[in-house]
Amino acid sequence: MRPIFARAACAALCLCLSASASETLRVVTWNCLGLQTGSSAYDALVDTLVRLDGDVVLLQEISGATDAANVPLLASDCGYAFSFVGNISGTLSGGLRTAILSRHPITASASWTAAELSGDPLANDITRDIIEVVVSVPEVCQPVALFTVHLKSGSSNTDRFRRQVEQQRLKKAIDLRQAATPGVQVIVGGDFNEDTDNAPFTDTWSTLPSGLPASYKLGTDVTFPVTYDPFGVLAGEGLQYVDATQEDSTTVYSTISGSGNRLDYVWAPAGMVVLGDEVYDSVDDDGVDGGPAGNVLRKAGAPLAAGTSATASDHWPLFADYLLESCDGTRYGNGSPATFALVPRAGSASAPALGTADFRLRLLYATPGASAILVLGVAKLAPPDGFALDPFVPGATLYVDFSTAVGLFPAVVDAGGQAEFTLPVPNKPSLVGFELETQWFVTDTGAPNGVGAMTDAYEAVIGP
């Protein structure tokens, strides 16, 4: 991607700027308590997933064969082209499975059993299959592998032992994927049935605990002592969980109604940029950032009725926005390491077509301590031969059809670090094959360089 801002213009602004080419991925995890189609709970589930507008949705507690068969229907009702549902393996699941919905193509999938992960054909030591999908995200070179788990529930000594073994099984599944696909980016989400507030964790077992089901068979690869470390296993894989709270809060972490417990998590590589995270409860959904500033994420459509979440499930969904490095990782300038990305707005075409009156881009900006942010953007058209007309050069009028004659678009970024803007595409057949290019500058005294940052140059080829 080429920078649009001319060197002379950047020099005139007296700024040291930085931009990276990036794409976003919104991941939702939710214990949905079943898929009873035709019920008010199912309708509330669909309404919530549409509102959250995730790119990938990790679901737990798909109950029974009927629910499993309804996963493709749920995907269709929520606008997802791809889905995968886990198997029932062993004797410990109670009929519960997990599932994944994806906006992006699923290129590989697996429903991992205890026997497969342990290498012991008799192993029967995980409650529900650990499922995995690999998705191909447009413009991102490295594939993304997403795992979801629904670990053993309960607070007994035996329950904790089983959860720890399941964590070790999850680690093995991750290791196998990383070995098979070097450079893969791993994200894990699900119902872990443990709360970080219960730390420190001190349980250690030198033998099998009492009270295990008669059919439970520990794989021969597990050696004693076994120490309960429910959040250390994934941390040891280089992952960290988002510290998500409910909307407009910095203290309410609960993901399950009634108990106040945080049982649901999304984990990603520690170096992956988190643009934001939230635990969604429709009671708090009013469509505005009510403060503290930024503790709310963008959602699609209108706010839902207050009782929607309670109707859908006893868990609240947790979702997070991640920034992925795109294939073109070129960086321009040497100033601000602030995260800055341009992506097509949800519901907008990924590329503009002739006569498009409402091609919208979403700007995402994340920097510590951001204060009032003012955005200036510039857009232009580049012919197929790659020669780009510079909007700062007098007489370069090809871009004039975009909103203003000077090609500058002011907008204010909201407190969540997001803004949307519209670029109408001229209805001129001669423009087919041209690239629409836009690049934006944010002034922000809270940025690491004290001045601001510049986006990547977003490019999209105009279609007929």
What whole-number distance in Å separates Cα of residue 359 and Cα of residue 426? Answer: 11
Residue 101 CB contacts under 8 Å (≥ 6 apart), including other chains: 49, 54, 56, 57, 59, 71, 74, 75, 78, 80, 82, 83
3.40.50.1480, 3.40.50.300, 3.30.360.10, 2.60.40.10: CATH of 7-20+331-461: 2.60.40.10
Average pLDDT, the chain: 78
Element (H, E) at 180: helix 157-180
What whole-number distance in Å separates Cα of residue 421 and Cα of residue 411? Answer: 8
What whole-number distance in Å separates Cα of residue 56 and Cα of residue 67? Answer: 19
Q: Is the pTM of this model over 0.85?
A: no
Tokens of 179: 């070995």
Within the chain, all domains assigned CATH 3.60.10.10 are found at 22-325
CB 113 within 8 A of CB 104: no
**Is residue 294 very low, low, confident or very high in pLDDT (cuts 50, 70, 90)?**
confident
Query: pLDDT tens digits, residue range 87-112?
Result: 999 999 999 999 999 999 999 999 99
Lowest-confidence pick of 24-28, 70-74, 122-126, 221-225: 24-28
Query: pLDDT tens digits, residue range 31-78?
Result: 999 999 999 999 999 999 999 999 999 999 999 999 999 999 999 999
Query: pLDDT tens digits, residue range 401-455?
Result: 333 323 344 455 555 555 555 555 656 676 666 666 666 666 666 555 666 666 5
List the alpha helices (DSSP H) in 200-256: 232-236
What whole-number distance in Å separates Cα of residue 59 and Cα of residue 317? Answer: 9
1.10.1060.10, 3.40.140.10, 3.60.10.10, 3.30.70.980: CATH of 22-325: 3.60.10.10
301-306 mean pLDDT: 96
Within the chain, all domains assigned CATH 2.60.40.10 are found at 7-20+331-461
**Is residue 140 very low, low, confident or very high in pLDDT (cuts 50, 70, 90)?**
confident
Residues written for the chain: 464
Strands 185-191 and 22-31: unpaired
Q: Three-state SS for 146?
A: strand
Query: pLDDT tens digits, residue range 332-370?
Result: 222 333 344 444 444 444 455 555 555 555 555 554 444
CB 292 within 8 A of CB 247: no
Task: Note the pLDDT of residue 334.
Answer: 25
Before 225, cis peptide (omega within 30)? yes
What whole-number distance in Å separates Cα of residue 105 and Cα of residue 135? Answer: 6
What whole-number distance in Å separates Cα of residue 260 and Cα of residue 274? Answer: 24
